[in-house]
Amino acid sequence: MAQILDGKKISEKIYTEISEIVQKKYAQNPPKLVVILVGDDPASAVYVSNKEKSCHKAGILSQTIRLSKNVSEEEVLKTITTLNIDESVTGIIVQLPLPKHISPEKVIMTIDPQKDVDGFHPENLGNLYLSKETEFLPPATPAGIITLLEENTIEIAGKNVAIVGRSNNVGKAISLMLLNRNATITVCHSYTQNIDHFLKNADIIVVATGKKQMITGEMVKNGVVVVDVGIHRHENGTLCGDVDFESVSLKASYITPVPGGVGPMTVASLIKNTLRAHEKKWKSRIF
């Protein structure tokens, strides 16, 4: 039976570490994270609430700007621009998804890359192409996955990694971050033929497809490390991921649960990025 990669436990450790740094170095000028929430989507409201609670644990100031679902795109962009020039604001997040009349691309491009703690701006994504050392504000979910592996002393260098899913902010980004750590990467997607071949040869599998329980135990080898990014709700209200936990956990050496695996690490990475942005801002100041 696989050991659990406990994202909740590690995230709490991260908040304690960040809180100590903030108290020691930035007690008089703590980092501040501002979240813009457009509309009244219940899931988004829960995510934002979790971010507020996490900020409190880490000693970071938080503010949520709530806008109507009918707000104009122009007004959203204007709000971001105001936050960009506000010296008291360290990080800016616009909670996704957005109403259809607001372009996520325009929103992301408007956020100052130095305050883009989601790591979605092309400048921050581009930094992943250069080296491990240039990963200034990496996308939160891939960064959380890396931390989850490293905190459990799971070797990355020299390992065969299969990534299922090729989204910009998860699949492509985590492939670059793992490549920066000397893994051998295969990215599988909807056009990949004989996907079982790649999965059965993988030492580590990262699944981010948005398809409920598509990876089963018969598709993986014994001893594999499995990271499940997906989250879905059964008709009875219980949650599951892109991986069939019951069958895969019988063969894996490590596996993330859903919930409690990647999700908490994503939020912790947002908070860690906020501290990183704050430290860079203060190092660049001239007194």
Rounded distance, CA 27 to CA 221, Å? Answer: 49
Task: Give CA separation, 42 vs 38, 49, 131, 134, in Å.
Answer: 11, 11, 38, 36
User: For tokens 């491990």, what's the residue?
Assistant: 132
Of 95, 116, 159, 213, which one is the catalytic site residue? 95
Of 6, 32, 116, 118, which one is the catalytic site residue? 118
> Is residue 213 annotated as a catalytic residue, yes or no?
no
Of 32, 51, 159, 251, which one is the catalytic site residue? 51
> Is residue 118 annotated as a catalytic residue, yes or no?
yes
> Is residue 51 annotated as a catalytic residue, yes or no?
yes
Residues with catalytic annotation? 51, 95, 118
